[in-house]
Amino acid sequence: MEKKPTFKCAANPEVKELSEMLKVISDPSRLRILCTLFFGEKCVCEVEEGLAISQPLASHHLGVLREAGLVEVRKEGTSSYYSLVPEALQKLNREFREILGEHKLPDRYPERSRC
């Protein structure tokens, strides 16, 4: 007999989904990569230099961001140019607000009620 969560919000699949996305962007290198990509696409060697990390490490983190759907890649010659996926960022912002948005706080907090 296995226990089940009794809080509805705790069983919300969107929460699990958001936590996975947050895990991806919570690595400092990856968050810094995202920051730089707001200014436009960058190739791996630019990320490497811009963040002062090794080439395999830059490639690895870009790969994680790509798997998560946050960035996409365009190949040109021997170079790979990475850029943000605007829709993914919009979705991330939306889900963050929906789950952790400050507007969810009641005027009088804390209070006790069912969840």
Partner DNA sequence: TGCTTATATAAACTGTTATTAATATAATGC
Partner DNA sequence: GCATTATATTAATAACAGTTTATATAAGCA
Write the interaction track for a copy of itself spanning residues 5-34; mark x where CB under 8 A is met and - where it is not.
Answer: xxx-xx-x--xx-xxx-xx-xxxx--xxxx
Q: Single out the residue of 57, 63, 67, 90 in contact with a copy of itself (rule: CB under 8 A).
A: 90
Q: Single out the residue of 1, 44, 52, 59 in contact with a copy of itself (rule: CB under 8 A).
A: 52
Burial class for 3, CB neighbours closer than 10 Å (0-12, 13-18, 19+):
exposed
With respect to a copy of itself, which residue has the nearer C-beta, 78 or 105? 105
Q: Which residues of 42-75 are buried (b: 16+ CB within 10 A; e: fewer)?
A: bbbeebbeebebeeeebeebbebbeebebbeeee
By the rule CB under 8 A, 62 interacts with a copy of itself: no
Q: How far is the CB of 64 from DNA (least distance, A)?
A: 6
